[in-house]
Amino acid sequence: MKTILSVIGFMVGVVVFGAFPGEASGPKVPAFELHSLDGRTYTDRHLIGQPTLLMFWASWRHVCQGEMPKVQALREAMKDKPFRILAIGFADPEANIRDYVAAHPTHFHFPVLYDTGDRVASRFGVRSTPTFFLLNKHGEVVIPYRGGGLVEQPEFQAILSKLLDEG
């Protein structure tokens, strides 16, 4: 039953965002500039060159809390591959994001950015948390996904594998 619900959730996420699994590319991400919790600046130009998973999240959301160890496990599995993960905190005070990251250091071996005023989330059309975007090496959206369970989806894993094979 859980598998059926996961597949339905994956497909609903795809339909809601208007993309189809396996599409070679979709829209480019909107222009943005954000700062990570360690002070580094990231822009949409940083999303070019290798597949990237963006995760918009909030510390108060239980689904996000459950997804972080899964995203970290994906990061570990992909550590020798040309793949990056960026977590973008939004819909939550920056202090809460910082406190959550500090309290769960094993979950965050990838950059954590903060979206002041939820401006970037708005440009991406993010209305709920968590929301994921898998991007190809050109910074184009391949999979948009709202909710939990993305990284366990066989469809996601197959598409990510294909993106990595494209070099």
Residue 39 belongs to a domain with what CATH number? 3.40.30.10
User: Taking 80 as the threshold, does the pLDDT of residue 161 lie above it?
Assistant: yes
| Residues 110-138: tens digit of each pLDDT | 999 999 999 999 999 999 999 999 999 99
Average pLDDT value for residue range 15-43: 76
Q: Are 100 and 66 in contact (CB under 8 A)?
A: no
User: Taking 70 as the threshold, does the pLDDT of residue 22 lie above it?
Assistant: no
Q: Which two tokens stand for residue 56?
A: 């918009």
| Higher pLDDT pick, 74 / 19 | 74
Average pLDDT value for residue range 48-66: 97
User: Taking 90 as the threshold, does the pLDDT of residue 167 lie above it?
Assistant: no
| Residues 141-152: tens digit of each pLDDT | 999 999 999 999
Cα–Cα distance between 48 and 44 in angstroms, integer? 8
Number of domains in the chain: 1
- Look over the chain and give the mean of its residue pLDDT values, rounded to a whole number: 89
User: Taking 50 as the threshold, does the pLDDT of residue 6 lie above it?
Assistant: no
Residue 138's domain comprises 2-165
**Model confidence at 24, in pLDDT bands (50, 70, 90)?**
low
| Residues 69-100: tens digit of each pLDDT | 999 999 999 999 999 999 999 999 999 999 99
Average pLDDT value for residue range 152-164: 96
Residue 26: per-residue pLDDT: 80
In percent, how much of the chain has pLDDT > 90? 83
